[in-house]
Structure 1
Amino acid sequence: MERGTNLLLARFQLRQAFWLFVCSRFILNLVSNPFFNELHNRQDIIPSLLLGILIQLLYVIVFIVLWKQFPDVTLIEYCKSILGRWPGNVVGLLYIVYFVIQACFTVRVFGEFLKTRFLIQTPIEVIGIGIMVIVVYAIYMGLEVLARLADILVPFIFGGMLLLAIFAFSEADWSNVKPTFETDLITMIKTMVPTATRWSELAWLAMLYPFIEQKKEIKLAIFGGIIFVNAFFFIINVTVVGIFGQEMVSSLKFPTLEMVESISIGSFLERIDALVLGLWVFGAFLKIGMYYYVVVLGISQWVGLRKEKVVIIPLGMIILLFSLLMFSNIVELSNFSKIIVPVDFIFTFVLPLLLLVIHLVKYKVRSVQQI
């Protein structure tokens, strides 16, 4: 397939891909963290998180092996190579729909967070329009804009959150997170598998892999990114449970924000939740932008467009519309984060594994026929 002349010519550094990868996974958990409700015993959060790192490292191997087999084509393109034209087109379309759903979900979470905590009198429609106008402009300027912003901003996001967590340490009762080991290993694994499936970033990274420099180091970057993000999850989640206790934490809508609001340094530094807002705005903007970008890229490759930019504005209107129609309130939004788990599992593990197995079988058959 001939590639387009605009967005698809973008190249970016592995370092920039790393920052986009970890930011996209981390940022949603600043305001929406279903992990607390999934824990069987929140006092066993420390061993659960440590086990979760191992599960996630094993989980991503399929995608990494698949990328190595097709280093110069995107997910949409090698679906056709492996499955054939029509089945490949169907699977490619499913991935595009999956990316659209993820974009809609993130836009609505972002909007609900702003409306609930900061822009109470502002209609969610107005907030959504504001979000999409900024993202549409960034996508129209190209992938390099998102990559460079990630290079500059994401280290500040993680540095700021680490500093806030350290400030919150004095408010925590560490006996709340002293492991009781009442949770058996099987239950702990069942708890952590949904966390592993939420690495939907693997799917959009499969779309961008051909455009990444230093491809040989991708495995190190992915494994390092998972450990990096989980280190921050560990610090923040353990601190949240330490402050609020295992019973109260499950009832909080925005646990991390509640943690920040509990910080008080002397009598001169309080109510620093506006800092979290600033960090989250930057991070959510990047996350929405990445899903938006791969949808534009996917549609362009799926239908064979030479000028990708013609779909940017119509697609933005579709994402905005569905972000408003898919969820009528914040309760439905919260429930959707549970419903999406098996869908994530299909698109980040089942389908990639199926593609890899079919490719290896076809390769083996061709090798035997040539003997």
Structure 2
Amino acid sequence: MLENGKISIRQFSILVILFTVGGSILIVPSGLASEAKQDGWIAGLLALGIGLLLIPFYYALGHRFQDKTISEYSEDLLGKWVGKLISLLFFTYFMINAGLTLRNIGDFMTTQFIPETPIEAIFIVFLAIVIIGTRNGIEPLSRSAEVLFPLVILLFIILSTSLIPEIKFENIQPVYEVGIKPIIRGAIPFIGSTFLELVVFLMIFPFANKTNQLRNSFLTGTLIGGIILIFISLLAILTMGSEVTARHLYPSYALARKINVADFLTRIEAILAGIWFVTIFIKLTVFFYASALSLAQTLKLKDYRFLTLPLGMILMVLALVLGPNIVAIEKFNKYILAPYSFTFGFVFPMLLLAISTFRMKGVKKNSSQ
């Protein structure tokens, strides 16, 4: 194996939580409110329910090949050339998602914090940290996530409690006014940009201890991460209203600016930024790690670490060419990412699971004869 590190069940669950929250904490409330209006939180619950249904499916595939990543057993199941093609497609999927994540970092920083700074400079700084994290391997990354996780939860609690005076329950009334179709339309991008992307953890399954407990760990991480996103979306609608939430590019960040506790505790949007920096670092590093490891395994290389620098350069270019501006990136996330993620997050894994099931039945039948 190209990776010798091992992570605990707890670390795996924390990685899933932070990955799920990722960059979604900034953009999900806007997408839910733009389609489902004040019922955006209902669309979020629908998306979370579907996301939780994906986890037993991923676990079934990963548990069947406990010592291999999805890039490795794709070749075992589909043959050398078709398997390599599927592995390379997964590598492309991981890289494109890493590029989108990096672009989200650059867009947020240049629009909210340092507008005069070239976006390329921001890419270089973040990529340097991500490359270091990737080269160290999955075990140090998981330990870092474990250390940072209590900070994320603490900041989330401070943010949530500080917004209590701003809540207006009339902003979510009447409930279920828009009907089921807008709720479904709101849930689809959420599923594509958050839960279908969890297929990347099939690259990490072999490095987790006690694989028989991974199913519950995976479900717990997805559930907690999804609840955090839905709760932030609900807070945004409750405090700002669905129309204002839908108009904001980063409604969660605008939400944090509304905090005012006794005219003393105000403008603490740095809290949300702190949550976002930690979670999006984990998400980008997991995608980049999966990209490097997948390509190394597909090409039968002895190590993946020497790939990190050239892949980092490619990732920087990719982040620049994926869209000419924020509007193009938003349209990509809304209309293209969901079917694209559905292909790699459901269709291909389902194909692999079906083939492995038929092969196991064939082996049992032959052995019984």
2:149 counterpart letter in structure 1: V
| 1:133 paired residue number | 128
Moved more, 352-361 or 184-193: 184-193
- Give the secondary structure class of the aligned counterpart of 1:144: helix
Report what 1:356 is aligned to.
353
Q: Does 1:105 align with 2:100?
A: yes
**1:157 counterpart (152, 159, 162):** 152
Question: Which is further off, 252-261 or 66-75?
Answer: 66-75
- Aligned with residue 78 of structure 2, among 77, 80, 83: 83
Query: Partners in 1 of 2:221 and 2:141 — Cα distance?
Result: 18
For structure 2, the residue ranges without an aligned partner over 5 or more in a row are none
CA contact (8 A) 2:30 2:247 kept: no
Q: C-alpha offsets along residues 147-174 of structure 1, whole Å, 9 cap, x if unaligned?
A: 1110011231133123202211211211
Task: Indicate whether 1:347 and 2:344 are aligned.
Answer: yes
1:273 to 269, 272, 276: 269
SS of equivalent residue, structure 2 residue 254: helix
Selected match of 1:123 from 78, 99, 118: 118
For the aligned residues, what is the CA RMSD? 1.8
* Match status 1:208 vs 2:179: no
Q: Distance in 1 between matches of 2:94 and 2:36?
A: 33
Structure 2 CA distance, aligned partners of 1:295 and 1:53?
26
Deviation at 1:342, TM superposition (A): 0.5
Q: Is the 8 A contact 1:55 1:193 kept in 2?
A: no
Cα deviation, residue 21, structure 1: 1.1
Shift of 1:261: 0.3
Residue in 2 that maps onto 1:114: 109
Once residues 36 and 291 of structure 2 are traced to their aligned partners in structure 1, the CA distance between those partners, rounded to angstroms, is 39
Query: How big is each residue's C-alpha offset from its partner over 1:67-90, in whole Å with a ceiling of 9 and x where there is no partner?
Result: 121111110011011111111111
Map 1:4-43 to 2 at 5 A: 4=2, 8-33=3-28, 36-37=31-32, 40-43=35-38
Aligned partner letter, 1:173: K
TM-score normalised to the size of structure 1? 0.93
- Deviation sequence 1:252-297 (CA, Å, 0-9, x none): 0101000000001122221211222233222222111111111111
2:39 to 36, 44, 50: 44
Q: What per-residue deviation string (whole Å, max 9, x for no partner) do you get for residues 38-60 of structure 1?
A: 76432223433333332222133
For residues 101 and 153 of structure 1, what CA distance do their matches in structure 2 show?
26
Aligned partners of 1:46 and 1:177 also within 8 Å: no
**Structure 1 residue identity aligned to 2:359:** K
Seen in structure 2, the aligned counterparts of structure 1 residues 283 and 89 have a Cα distance that, compared at 3 Å, is same
State yes or no: 1:255 paired with 2:251: yes
Could you tell me which residue of structure 1 aligns to residue 301 of structure 2?
A: 305
- CA contact 2:5–2:207 (8 Å) conserved in 1: yes
Give me the whole-angstrom Cα distance separating, in 1, the residues matched to 2:60 and 2:294. 21
**Number of matched residues?**
366
Deviation at 1:179, TM superposition (A): 4.5
Distance 1:64 1:141 in 2: 26
Partner AA of 2:16 in structure 1: F
Task: Give the Cα separation in 2 of the matches to 1:43 and 1:280.
Answer: 24
Kept after mapping to 1: 8 A contact 2:20/2:226: no
Separation of aligned partners in 2, 1:316 and 1:345? 26
C-alpha contact (below 8 Å) 1:257/1:276 kept by paired residues: yes
Distance 1:138 1:226, change over 3 A: closer
In the TM superposition, what is the alpha-carbon distance from 1:37 to its structure 2 partner? 4.7
Deviation at 1:210, TM superposition (A): 0.5
- Match of 1:11, SS state, is coil
State whether structure 2 residue 73 is matched by structure 1 residue 57.
Answer: no
Q: Relative to structure 1, is the Cα distance of residues 31 and 185 closer, same or farther in structure 2, using a 3 angstrom cutoff?
A: closer
Provide the C-alpha distance between the structure 1 equivalents of 2:212 and 2:362, rounded to a whole number of angstroms: 27
TM-score (norm 2): 0.94
Contact 1:40 1:183 in 2 (8 A): no
Unmatched segments (≥5 aa) in structure 1: none
CA distance in 1: counterparts of 2:151 and 2:174, whole angstroms? 32
Secondary structure at the counterpart of residue 73 of structure 1: coil
CA offsets 1:132-160 (integer angstroms, 9 cap, x no match)? 11111222222222111100112311331
C-alpha contact 1:13 1:213 (8 A) present in aligned 2? yes
Q: What is the rounded CA distance, in whole Å, between the counterparts of 1:280 and 1:244 in structure 2?
A: 20
- The 3-state SS of whatever aligns with 1:32 is helix
Name which of 228, 246, 264 aligns with 1:232. 228
Out of 138, 162, 167, the position equivalent to 1:167 is: 162
Instruction: Provide the rounded CA distance (Å) in 2 between the counterparts of 1:294 and 1:333.
Output: 23
Quick one: structure 1 residues 54 and 326, their matched pair in 2 at CA, closer, same or farther if it must change by over 3 Å?
Answer: closer
Aligned partners of 1:309 and 1:209: how far apart in 2?
Answer: 19
Q: Is the 8 A contact 2:14 2:145 kept in 1?
A: yes
User: How many angstroms apart in 2 are the aligned matches of 1:121 and 1:350?
Assistant: 43
Residue matched to 1:328: 324
